[in-house]
C-alpha cells in the first residue's frame, strides 16, 4: 500500500509479477480529486508503461487493471470548512460498496481469461513452501 498511487513505481508492479501474481489491481483516486494532484495521472502512465513491458517480455497485456474511485480531496476540504460529517449509508445502498463490488467482479472476470503467470512456478517463495529434499550430512567428527 502506498499513500498515493502516484508513488507507485514500475518496479513495485514488476515485483508482484515476479512473485507470481497473475494480475495486479490498482485503485486510484479520480484524476480531478486527488490530495496529491497528479498522483492518479502518474499511476495511469506507469501502468501503461508496465503493461507494454509485460507484452515485450512475453507475459502479455491485460495483467494490470487500474480503477478510479472518488478521492476525498474536494469533499474533505468542503466538509472541513463547513465542519460537517459524511452521511452514513446502509451497506446495500453505499455507493462505494457498490463500486468495490463492481471492481471485484471485473477482476474475477479478467482472471478467468488470463493464463497463469509462468513465473509463478519459478518463485523462491513457492519453492521454499513446496516439497523439497534436504540432504542430510553427518557433521560429527570421526
pLDDT in tens, 45-75: 999 999 999 999 999 999 999 998 876 655 5
Collapsing DSSP to helix, strand or coil, 88 comes out as coil
The rounded distance, in Å, linking the Cα atoms of 136 and 142 is 16
Please name every residue paired with 69 in a beta bridge, in sequence order, or none if there are none.
29
Condensed to tens digits (0 to 9), the pLDDT of residues 86-95 reads 555 555 567 7
> Domain for residue 109, yes or no?
no
In a domain, residue 36? The reply is yes
Please state, in angstroms and rounded to a whole number, the distance separating the CA atoms of residues 47 and 10.
8
- Is the residue at 53 inside a domain? yes
User: Within a domain: residue 82?
Assistant: no
Question: What's the structural domain count of the chain?
Answer: 1
How many CB atoms are closer than 10 A to CB 47? 20
Higher pLDDT pick, 15 / 131: 15
> Which pTM does this prediction carry?
0.68
Is position 106 within any domain?
no
Structural domain includes residue 51: yes
Bridge partners of 65, per DSSP, are 25
For residue 43, the enclosing domain spans 5-72
Amino acid at each position: 500500500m502506498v499513500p498515493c498511487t502516484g508513488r507507485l513505481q514500475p518496479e513495485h508492479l514488476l515485483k508482484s509479477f515476479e512473485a507470481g501474481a497473475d494480475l495486479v489491481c490498482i485503485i486510484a483516486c479520480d484524476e480531478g480529486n486527488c490530495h496529491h494532484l497528479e498522483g492518479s495521472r502518474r499511476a495511469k502512465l506507469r501502468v501503461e508503461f508496465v503493461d507494454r513491458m509485460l507484452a515485450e517480455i512475453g507475459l502479455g497485456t491485460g495483467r494490470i487493471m487500474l480503477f478510479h474511485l472518488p478521492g476525498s480531496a474536494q469533499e474533505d476540504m468542503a466538509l472541513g470548512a463547513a465542519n460537517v460529517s459524511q452521511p452514513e449509508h446502509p451497506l446495500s445502498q453505499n455507493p462505494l460498496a457498490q463500486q468495490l463490488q463492481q471492481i471485484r467482479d471485473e477482476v474475477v472476470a479478467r482472471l478467468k481469461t488470463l493464463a497463469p503467470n509462468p513465473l509463478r512456478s519459478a518463485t523462491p517463495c513457492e519453492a521454499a513452501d513446496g516439497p523439497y529434499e534436504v540432504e542430510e550430512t553427518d557433521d560429527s567428527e570421526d
